[in-house]
Amino acid sequence: MNIKKLLGIALTSVLLFGISFEASSHHSFIGQYDPEKSTVLVGTVKGIRWLNPHAFFVIEVTNEDGTTEDWSFELGSPNTLIRYGWSRDTLKVGDVISADGYLARSGEKLANAKIVTLADGTVFQAASSYEQENQ
C-alpha cells in the first residue's frame, strides 16, 4: 500500500473519528438557530462530515487570549451542495476559511452556514446559486 493511500486513510480516520461533531438531525433551521444572533468566525478546518441529510464542517478558532475552540457549522444536503459546485473535497483539513451564520439557540458552539469564504477566496452563499453554477 503506497504512502498516498495510507495518508488518505489516516485523514479519513481523523475526519470521522478525531473530531466531535455535533449531533445532527434533519430539521427546520429556524427552530434550532436564532436569526437575531449571528457570528462571523475565521478558523482552520479540522473536519468535514459530508453526509445526508445535512453536511457539517468544524473549524478551530483562535481567541484573542490564544485559547482555541472548535466551532461546528451546519450546511444543507450534499445532494444540493454538489449541484452548486461544492464537493466533499472542497474543504480540506488545514484550510483557513471564514464562516458566517446564526448561532444555535442551545448555546452550543454551533451555527448554520449562510456565508462561507474559502481559502482561495471563493464565496458560497445562498443568493449566488446562479453565480456558483456559472463559475
Partner 1 sequence: MVKTIRTFETMLFLVVALMSSQLVFAQGTIMGSLIDPNGANITGLNQNVTLVNTMTGEEYTGQTTLDGDYRITGLPAGTYDLSFLFRTAMYQSYSEEGVVIRDGETLEHDLNIEWSINLGTIGDDPGMLANDMLRNSGDVSGPAPRLFNGNIDFSGMWAIRQTPDVPIQRPPYQPWAAQMNEELLALDIQNPGAYCLPQSAVMTTAGFPMQITQTPDIMIQIMEFVTPGWRQIFLDGRDFPELWNPSWQGHSRGHWEGDTLVVETSGFNEYTPGFGIHSDQMVVTERYTRPERGTMRVEITVEDPEALTDTYTNIREFGLVLGEEILEFICAEGNTDPAQWEQPVWKGRP
Q: Which residues bind partner 1 (CB under 8 A)?
A: 23-31, 33, 35, 49, 51-55, 74-84, 86, 100-102, 112-116, 124-131, 133
Q: How far is the CB of 17 from partner 1 (least distance, A)?
A: 14
Cell 451542495 belongs to 81
Compare residues 1 and 23 and give the one whose CB is closer to partner 1.
23
Rounded Cα distance between 2 and 133, Å, is: 36
Compare residues 24 and 44 and give the one whose CB is closer to partner 1.
24
Q: Which grid cell is 76?
A: 444543507
Q: How far is the CB of 61 from partner 1 (least distance, A)?
A: 19
Q: How far is the CB of 7 from partner 1 (least distance, A)?
A: 25
Compare residues 45 and 75 and give the one whose CB is closer to partner 1.
75
Q: How far is the CB of 63 from partner 1 (least distance, A)?
A: 25
Residue 74's nearest CA partner among 92, 94, 101 is 101
Q: Which grid cell is 74?
A: 451546519
Q: Which residues, including other chains, have CB under 8 Å from residue 29's CB and lie 6 or more apart?
A: 74, 102, 112
121, amino acid identity: G
